[in-house]
Structure 1
Amino acid sequence: MDTSKSLCLITNIGSHYRFPIFSEMAKNFACHFYLGNKVATPIKKFDYTKLEGYRQTLKNVYFGPFYWQRGSVRLLFKPYRYYIIDGEPFCLSSWAILLLAKLTRKKTIAWTHGWYGREGKIKRQVKKLFFSLHSALMVYSEYAIALMQKEGIPRRKMYCIANSMDSDKERAIREQLTCSDIYRQHFLNDNPTIIYCGRIQKLKRLELLVDCAAAFKEEGRPVNIVFVGKDVEQVNIDQYAKDKNVADSVWMYGPCYDDEVLGQLFYNAHVCVSPGNVGLTAIHALSFGCPVVTHNNFAYQMPEFEAIRQGETGTFFEQGNAKSLKQEIECWICVDADKREQTRRKAFDEIDRKWNIHYQTEVIRKVLNET
């Protein structure tokens, strides 16, 4: 397929983590990128000017929960054949693009979360109409695809795109990783270490993790916890740890964007725990061989939960239940060195199987060839 000037991607923002996959798209498909300037919730952007194929920053104009991307609709009159857009019904300009594409015989492809499983009646109807207007749907998870199929959306037009981070860089780092005393140096003990990595927010329910640490301490089996991330909502989890008398077992590491450092932190931890939903944290942890524990209410999860294979790359606990969370943590902190190494290998295999930029590139290639 001749992809010269064929593919146009329009998205609400160039999230920092998507630079590697966008770069791969530019290399493989001569893709041109039109990226929004901001979203309602602050997200770290990459430097747009460093992306090959970058063409323009679009201004997102908000009307409550809805927004319009100025300059996006006129792109339908440029010589592109395929348009990848956010599968987000709240973007009003996307509706205009979809309708105009029908008139101009252009192909529109959603890159979308699709269904969550908690949509009410009105939202279900709106989403069904919105997705019906697309030529194809690239959906993050098989879970969402199954829900959408039940809603009557044809399976043949849906493709699982999964998600990725800087997978090539992370693979190179992981090949150099070895066990170290990074936690012993800080905590001055050999207790099992649990890691959380991500923004510290109320919806992440991190107090449940501290409750588990307090319960383990009462049993005479103390654990360490390292929180890697910025407190963006004044959660004050460190004060909660003091109140629970486990402050000496908690390391408030702060934000870190250095994958070599993060690789060491994940590789040497026993388990990564995200008591609220888990998103790219799961991919980050598994990329460096760390199993993941999160809750089992998938309607309130992010699509990356699918990288967790029960008992192999992680486990699920009953949402909001500290006792259930403690039981799942216990499964991972009690393993011996051989079992821990087996888990690392399974985590690497899962990332290499699906959660990387090369898998995503081949999915996009298939969509373009079949649409």
Structure 2
Amino acid sequence: MEKKNIEVFFAFGETKQQVGRTGKKFNSVELENKIYCPYVEISLFNRNIRLNKRVISVIFKIKPDVVIFEGIVSNISNWVIVLLSKVLKIKIVAWVLGWEGKRSFTRRLLLKVLYKNVDVFFAYNTSSKKYLNKLGVRDDKIVVLYNTINEHNILKNIEKIKQQAGEIKKKMNLGERIVLLYCGAVIREKK
């Protein structure tokens, strides 16, 4: 297989409203080719609509072969990128979570229209793939990219991990109780 030089650019923005997720701010992450494209957010019909101010000019400047965006209808930039992709011959990849916070006929219709113009979909899991299928996306256009930890590394070190877990249980006086650990944000949008 021939190796190709691939240059990756990261256009990112931040919203003023926090959604309860913590973590590193993208602008503090050390990466080459980061381009700050701040969002403008407006409320329209009780929905927040976003526009990435600079992303369109960045696309004209960089002239990428592929653009990957979050597969949501409420970012007006996605619609403009889809239109530009036809003119500039850019391939579009939509990264899709696979659920809707508020289901509506209008949103589903808009998703179907947007998704007809997408070349490939990255789905978080098999549920996301099923969601895309319900919206009319064919299997051959979907790549499932599991958003998980490296379970192979855990399985390779399972005995050491079991021993460490036993030591922690002993230290916390948990005896033989079954302990379940949830790691992640407990927020309303995850139900």
Fold conserved (TM > 0.5)?
yes
Q: Check 1:90–1:183 CA distance in 2 against 1; reply closer, same or farther (3 A cut).
A: same
Map 1:287-326; keep pairs closer than 5 Å.
none
- For residue 148 of structure 1, give the secondary structure of its aligned residue in structure 2: helix
The code of the aligned residue for 1:85 comes to F
TM-score (norm 2): 0.76
Q: Which residue of 2 aligns with 1:31?
A: 8
Q: Following the alignment from structure 1 to structure 2, what is the Cα–Cα distance between the partners of residues 181 and 82?
A: 49
- For residue 159 of structure 1, give the secondary structure of its aligned residue in structure 2: strand
Q: Which residue of 2 aligns with 1:95?
A: 79
- For residue 38 of structure 2, give the secondary structure of its aligned residue in structure 1: strand
Map 1:243-322; keep pairs closer than 5 Å.
277=190
Higher helix residue share: 1
Q: Check 1:3–1:81 CA distance in 2 against 1; reply closer, same or farther (3 A cut).
A: farther
Q: Check 1:3–1:34 CA distance in 2 against 1; reply closer, same or farther (3 A cut).
A: farther
1:192 and 2:178 aligned: yes
Of the three residues 153, 157, 181, the one matched with 1:171 is 153
Of the three residues 79, 82, 87, the one matched with 2:63 is 79
1:62 and 2:41 aligned: yes
- Structure 2 unpaired stretches of 5+: none
1:190-227 CA distances to partner (integer Å, 9 max, x unpaired)?
322233333355x49xxxxxxxxxxxxxxxxxxxxxxx
Q: Which residue of 1 aligns with 2:104?
A: 120
Shift of residue 143 of structure 1? 2.5
Of the three residues 120, 139, 147, the one matched with 1:155 is 139
Contact 1:117–1:147 (CA under 8 A) maintained in structure 2: no
Q: Following the alignment from structure 1 to structure 2, what is the Cα–Cα distance between the partners of residues 145 and 118?
A: 19
- For residue 178 of structure 1, give the secondary structure of its aligned residue in structure 2: helix
Shift of residue 66 of structure 1? 1.0
Q: Check 1:3–1:63 CA distance in 2 against 1; reply closer, same or farther (3 A cut).
A: farther
Shift of residue 125 of structure 1? 0.5
Q: Which residue of 2 aligns with 1:110?
A: 94
Q: Following the alignment from structure 1 to structure 2, what is the Cα–Cα distance between the partners of residues 86 and 154?
A: 19
Contact 2:98–2:127 (CA under 8 A) maintained in structure 1: no
Of the three residues 111, 135, 138, the one matched with 2:122 is 138
- Structure 1 unpaired stretches of 5+: 5-28, 205-276, 278-299, 301-371
Q: Following the alignment from structure 1 to structure 2, what is the Cα–Cα distance between the partners of residues 191 and 146?
A: 37
Corresponding pairs, count: 179
Q: Which structure has the larger Rg over C-alpha atoms?
A: 1
- For residue 182 of structure 2, give the secondary structure of its aligned residue in structure 1: strand
Shift of residue 56 of structure 1? 1.4
Q: Following the alignment from structure 1 to structure 2, what is the Cα–Cα distance between the partners of residues 93 and 49?
A: 24
Q: Which moved more, 1:105-114 or 1:152-161?
A: 152-161
Q: Following the alignment from structure 2 to structure 1, what is the Cα–Cα distance between the partners of residues 11 and 37?
A: 7
- CA RMSD for the aligned pairs? 3.1
Q: Following the alignment from structure 1 to structure 2, what is the Cα–Cα distance between the partners of residues 57 and 105?
A: 24
1:88-135 CA distances to partner (integer Å, 9 max, x unpaired)?
111111111111111111111111124559733222101101111212
Shift of residue 55 of structure 1? 2.2
Contact 1:61–1:69 (CA under 8 A) maintained in structure 2: yes
- For residue 193 of structure 1, give the secondary structure of its aligned residue in structure 2: coil
Shift of residue 155 of structure 1? 2.6
- For residue 169 of structure 2, give the secondary structure of its aligned residue in structure 1: helix
